[in-house]
Structure 1
């Protein structure tokens, strides 16, 4: 197990990776202040009086926990969803917990994450993740990443467009004023922006301010 540190650049919690596992099969741990769906749990009171929820941590063995200087970070599967938790210390069995809900720009997202976690514990329907991407945004991000990979490999915008949308659509008209030309350029530029740190915007909801 590696030493945990908080990165001022990406807001992540760094642990030693398992060299025997592919990167996309290992959990990413985020600091609560960086990812609004990470729930900060605290011990609340003493023994439960029956009216409060007290998690049995032995029943969460399927989850992943990492211990760092600031406490415990976990990714726990409950009710078919992954819940991200942070605790300064693992409480004794039977002790109730509270969730910290700071008032900030992401309070609504944190409240939704807390509600989903409570629903999972109570056996209720969870509903969608508060940071879930729509199918349209997912498709666009896939196109961005494919366009970025091709651009980094040295392909021209036209070659990228042919790979993304097919040669027939690209070669059916003049490339100079082709609508796919401007679209491909935007995809590459947006992909570059994501690569250079813009991906962190995915950790927070799109602003709803007018």
Structure 2
């Protein structure tokens, strides 16, 4: 199968999956289903199945070589890859590849179904709240270092000057205790 190449920009600029001028917090970043198993693969449902809602309703869609990416906002934000490459009003079916990511894909489908059914949506269990907080802090620290901040400036920004000063005092006490009690 020959891969479909995206249509180049006619204005002479570069085509990016996200706008480089905007923060990732201010735009939807499109993921490949290979990188993020929460990206749902959808296509038209077979006609012999009972009626079900269409997932192609979102207006926010972007074309890609993989298909048509749609951002669905129904109680949660879900990224759906329409494999047909077109929006239709026909009923949709989700495709679940039988790979190592199947459990994560099933949970993503369940979260979307809960949102569409106006039920309480379970949280994404792939990452704990503690891990999410740590990742956020690590990203802020990396961003600070990339912009020339010192380790102390980063610590003050992340934890506050009072907490950093308290750690400094404890470290000084521990070092003093170590050197005063050292035999020799």
Aligned to 1:123: 118
Cα pair distance change 1:177/1:128, threshold 3 Å: same
Secondary structure, counterpart of 2:54 in structure 1: coil
Which one has a bigger Cα radius of gyration? 2
Conservation of the 8 A alpha-carbon contact between 1:14 and 1:29? no
Structure 1: segments with no counterpart, 5+ residues: 6-12, 179-210
Q: Give the SS at the match of 1:73.
A: strand
Range that drifts further, 104-113 or 159-168: 159-168
Match in the other structure for 2:19: 17
Q: Is the 8 A contact 1:43 1:91 kept in 2?
A: no
1:131–1:151 Cα change, 3 Å: same
Aligned length: 159
Runs of 4+ residues over 6 Å off in structure 1: none
Shift of 1:163: 4.9
3-state SS of the aligned residue for 1:41?
Answer: strand
What is the deviation of 1:137? Answer: 2.2
Q: Give RMSD over aligned pairs.
A: 3.3
Q: Provide the residue aligned with 2:61 in structure 1.
A: 65
Partner of 1:101: 96
1:81-134: per-residue Cα shift (whole Å, max 9, x none)? 0011001223532x3222111122211110011112222233332221233541
Please state whether the residue corresponding to 2:34 is helix, strand or coil: coil
1:113/1:130 contact within 8 Å kept: no
Stretch deviating more after TM superposition (28-37 or 99-108): 99-108
The TM-score, its normalising length taken from structure 1, stands at 0.61
Which residue matches 2:135? 141
1:52 is matched with 51
Question: Structure 1: how far apart are the matches of 2:7 and 2:128?
Answer: 29
Tell me: CA distance 1:17–1:174, structure 2 relative to 1, closer, same or farther (3 Å). closer
Q: Residues 177 and 40 from structure 1, CA distance in 2 versus in 1: closer, same or farther, beyond 3 angstroms? A: farther
Q: Which residue of 2 aligns with 1:168?
A: 165
Shift of 1:176: 10
Q: Secondary structure at the residue paired with 1:29?
A: coil
TM-score w.r.t. structure 2 length? 0.68
